[in-house]
Structure 1
Amino acid sequence: MMGLSEILSRINDGVFLELIFQENTDWDARLDSRDGIEFASAWSASYEQVLSSCPPEDESIRQVREAAFKKVYQITGNPDLAGYVSDDFGLIVQAFMHQVDSGFIHRLWQAYAQGTFPH
């Protein structure tokens, strides 16, 4: 598992998110696919698992969420996409920090780590 500082460093490295979001993609269609029952249900269940087993978000998690939002918005100009990415990174970091074992959250991180937007 990655630590919070390592994830924040990757967000701010000028390469990690740029490689994912610089491509000419119909981001609204990608967001719509995330609203499908399978992905949305898995995301919500993972969120509930983290919410029920972890303390509330702290400043370090908010810092990661804010950095992800700003970087994706800067790259794409799409506030909805930036919000989804911010939510993803908040979920990922909180799970990693509190050692929540979730296959879905692990796959969510793996998608980003492999240079793709999870959908």
Structure 2
Amino acid sequence: MITASEILSRINDGVFLELVFKENPDWDAELGSRDSVEFFSAWNASYETITSSCPPEDGSIKEIRESAFKKVYQITKNPDLAGCVSDDLGLIAQAFKNKVDIDFINDLWKAYTQGSFPN
């Protein structure tokens, strides 16, 4: 698993999120596809597992969330998308930091590292 500092370094490297968001698809439609029962349920179940079994977010997780939001907003000018990515990367970092292995969270990270927006 990757560390929180490595996630932050990737966010700030000028390449990682740019590869995911360089194109301009209909981000509202992309966000809407995450409202499917399957995706929504898996995300929420993962979130509940993390929040119930891990300590609250610390400064490093908050920094990841803030940096992700700012970077995605800078690229896309879409605050909803930026918030969604911030939530995703915060969840991923919290899971990895606490060594919680959840397939759905691993798949989220894999999508981002392969240059895709998970939906």
| Superposition TM-score, scaled by structure 2 size | 0.99
Aligned counterparts, 1:14-53, within 5 A: 14-53=14-53
Distance 1:99 1:48 in 2: 15
Which ranges in structure 1 are unaligned for 5 or more consecutive residues? none
Does 2:32 align with 1:60? no
Which string of whole-angstrom CA distances, capped at 9 and with x for unpartnered residues, describes residues 38-97 of structure 1? 100000000000011000111110000000000000000000000000000000000000
| Cα distance between partner residues in 1 of 2:51 and 2:116 | 26
Q: Which runs of 5+ in 2 are unaligned?
A: none
Q: Secondary structure at the match of 2:62?
A: helix
| Cα distance in structure 2, aligned partners of 1:109 and 1:18 | 15
Q: Partner of 1:100: helix, strand, or coil? A: coil
Specify the SS of the correspondent of 1:74. Answer: helix
SS at match of 2:25: coil
- Measured on the aligned residues, the alpha-carbon RMSD in Å equals 0.5
Identity %: 71
| Moved beyond 4 Å, runs of 4+ | none
Residue 24 (structure 1) shift: 1.7
The aligned amino acid for 1:75 is: I
Aligned length: 119
Q: Which amino acid aligns with 1:48?
A: E
Partner of 1:80: 80
Q: What's the offset of the Cα at 1:101? A: 1.2
